[in-house]
Amino acid sequence: MKKSLMLLLSVIVMLTMLSACSGNTNEKNEPAGDDGEIKGDIVFLTNRTDMIGNVYDEYKKRFEEKYPGVNLEFEAILDYDATLKVRMSSGDFPDVVFLPTLSNAEFPEYFAPLNDIEFSGDIYFKELRAHEGQMYGISSGGSTVGIVYNKEAFAKAGITDVPKTYEEFLAACEKLKQSGIVPLASNFKDKWPLDVWVHDIPSLIGEASDHQNKRADTDTPYTMDNEYGKTWSIVRELYEKGYLEPDINSTNWEQSKKDIATGKFGMYLLGNWVINQVIENGADPDNVGFFPFPADNSGQAKAPLNPDFFYAVNKNGNVPAAKAFIHWMIEESGYDEFAGFIPTLKDREPKLAQLAEFNSYDVKYFEPAQPSDVAIDIQNAAQLDQAATVQEFVLSDDPAAVLEKVNGRWAKARSDLGIKE
C-alpha cells in the first residue's frame, strides 16, 4: 500500500518537476539588448521542411561563421499560416518568421520595423507590407506568372512560334489536343493553382494590379464583363473546348509535373518557381520554355511581378541578430537561386535561364498594389474563397448566376460592416 501511494505521489512530483525544469531550460537566452550588438540565439520559423538537415545546415554554418556570437536555429512547419497564428496567439513565437495573413495595420502589434536594414541596392516590394511609413516585411524573393511549356511537345504538335495573342493561344491548344497532348494542366482540383486566375490574369486583362482593392468600392465586384468575368470565362472556354485535363475534378499535382516533363501535358500557367520542379521531375532544362500568357489579342506581352513570403522580425525577440539574418538571407545566402526566384535586390539578375527567355518578349510588368484592408475585411466577412468561386464558375451551367450569388454575399457583408460608397 505504502509503495503504491509513494508511486502515485512520485508521479505527481515528476509531472510538476518536468514542467518546472523544462520551463527553465527553455527560457530564451538573454536577448541582445538595445546596444544593437549581434549575438545570442535566433530562431527562424520556415515553411521549407525539405531544407532541414541539408541546405539549412550549411546556412547555419556560414551565418555563424560571419556572426560568431549568434546561435541560429530553424523550426520548420507545414500549413504555415494557421500554425503561426496559433503560436502568435500564445504570445510566444520565433524571432524571424514569414508574415501571416493579417492586415498591415496589425503588424506593429507584433513585428519590428525593418527600415534600417541597409541593403546593397534598391529592393522590390518595399511598400507592400508597410504601415504608416514603417516597413514590416521584406520579400524573400519574387516571381512572375506565365506559360511554362514543354518545347518538344510544341514541336510535335507543329507549333513553331509561341503564341502572342489569345487567338494564337487557342490555336496552339487545338494543335496540342489534335496530337494527343493535354494542352494546359490546370490542376483544377487542388484549388491553389487557380490563384493565378484570381490575382494575376485579371491584372493583365484590366491592365491594373489594384483590382482586388477596388472591389471595396462596389456592391457588384464580379461581373461578366469586368476583369473577373472575362478571366474566368477564359478558364471556362478552355475547359469547354477540352483543353484542360480530361477530368478536372481528378487532377494530381505531383503527377502533372512528371507529365509536363515527359510532354504528355503541354503547358502550365503558373509562377516561374515551378520550372525547377519540372526539371527536378526529369525534364531536360533546355526543353522547358517560359513565355508570357497572352490574355488578350493586343499582342503586348504582359506579366505580373509577385512577391513570395515576407520575412518579418518578432519585436520581442532578438531584433538585431534577426535583422542581420534577413540581410544575410537576401544578400549572401543564395536562397533566391535555390528557390528559382527573381532576386529581391533589383540590380541582381535572376539565375534561371527561362527568365531570360521570358524577358526577351519585351514584357510589361505589373507590380502588385498594397492590399487594402477594407477589401480583405469584406472578403472575410463574406467568407469568400475566390479560388472556389472560379471552380464553381467553370463547372456551373449558369456562370452569371454564380457571380450574382457571390455579389449578393459581398453586398451583404459590405452593408454589415457599414461601408458606404
Site for another protein in 372-401 (CB under 8 A): 379-381, 383, 385, 388, 391-392, 395-396
417 forms part of the interface with another protein (CB under 8 A)? no
- Min separation Cβ 185 and another protein, Å: 12
Residue 53 or residue 285: which is nearer to another protein going by CB? 53
Q: Is the distance from CB of 263 to CB of 156 less than 8 angstroms?
A: yes
Torsion angles phi and psi, residue 89, rounded to 5: -70, -20
Q: Name residue 398's amino acid.
A: D
Choose among 93, 119, 149, 184: nearest CA to 394: 184
All cell numbers assigned to 382: 463574406
Site for another protein in 9-38 (CB under 8 A): 11-12, 15, 18-19, 22-27
Residue choice 78, 133, 397, 398 for contact with another protein (CB under 8 A): 78
Residue 192 or residue 362: which is nearer to another protein going by CB? 192
In which region does residue 144 sit, left (phi positive, over 0), alpha (psi from -120 to 50) or beta (all else)? beta
- Min separation Cβ 299 and another protein, Å: 32
CB atoms within 10 A of CB 385: 13
- Min separation Cβ 77 and another protein, Å: 5
Residue 86 or residue 171: which is nearer to another protein going by CB? 86
- Min separation Cβ 139 and another protein, Å: 15
Site for another protein in 185-204 (CB under 8 A): 189-192
Stretch that binds another protein, among 114-122, 135-143, 256-264, 326-334 (CB under 8 A): 256-264
100 forms part of the interface with another protein (CB under 8 A)? yes
Choose among 329, 374, 337, 345: nearest CA to 72: 329
2 forms part of the interface with another protein (CB under 8 A)? yes
415 forms part of the interface with another protein (CB under 8 A)? no
Residue choice 75, 174, 367, 373 for contact with another protein (CB under 8 A): 75
- Min separation Cβ 27 and another protein, Å: 8
All cell numbers assigned to 65: 561563421
CA pair distance 120, 143, nearest whole angstrom: 21
Site for another protein in 299-358 (CB under 8 A): 339
CB atoms within 10 A of CB 1: 5
Site for another protein in 101-140 (CB under 8 A): 101-102, 106, 109-110
Binding mask 281-310 for another protein (x = CB under 8 A): xx----------------------------
Residue 38 or residue 248: which is nearer to another protein going by CB? 248
CA pair distance 134, 124, nearest whole angstrom: 15
Choose among 342, 386, 375, 392: nearest CA to 145: 342
Q: Which residues, other chains included, contact 305 with Cβ-Cβ below 8 Å and sequence gap of 6+?
A: 124, 142, 143, 144, 342, 365, 366, 367, 368
Residue choice 257, 302, 323, 414 for contact with another protein (CB under 8 A): 257
Stretch that binds another protein, among 64-72, 184-192, 204-212, 230-238 (CB under 8 A): 184-192
Q: Name residue 162's amino acid.
A: V
Residue 170 or residue 274: which is nearer to another protein going by CB? 274
Binding mask 262-281 for another protein (x = CB under 8 A): x----------xx--x--xx
Spell out the SS3 assignment of 76-131: ECCCHHHHHHHHHHCCCCCCEEECCCCCHHHHHHCECCCCCCCCCCCECCCCCCEE
252 forms part of the interface with another protein (CB under 8 A)? yes
- Min separation Cβ 171 and another protein, Å: 25
Give the three-class secondary structure for 269.
strand
CA pair distance 395, 35, nearest whole angstrom: 60
- Min separation Cβ 141 and another protein, Å: 11
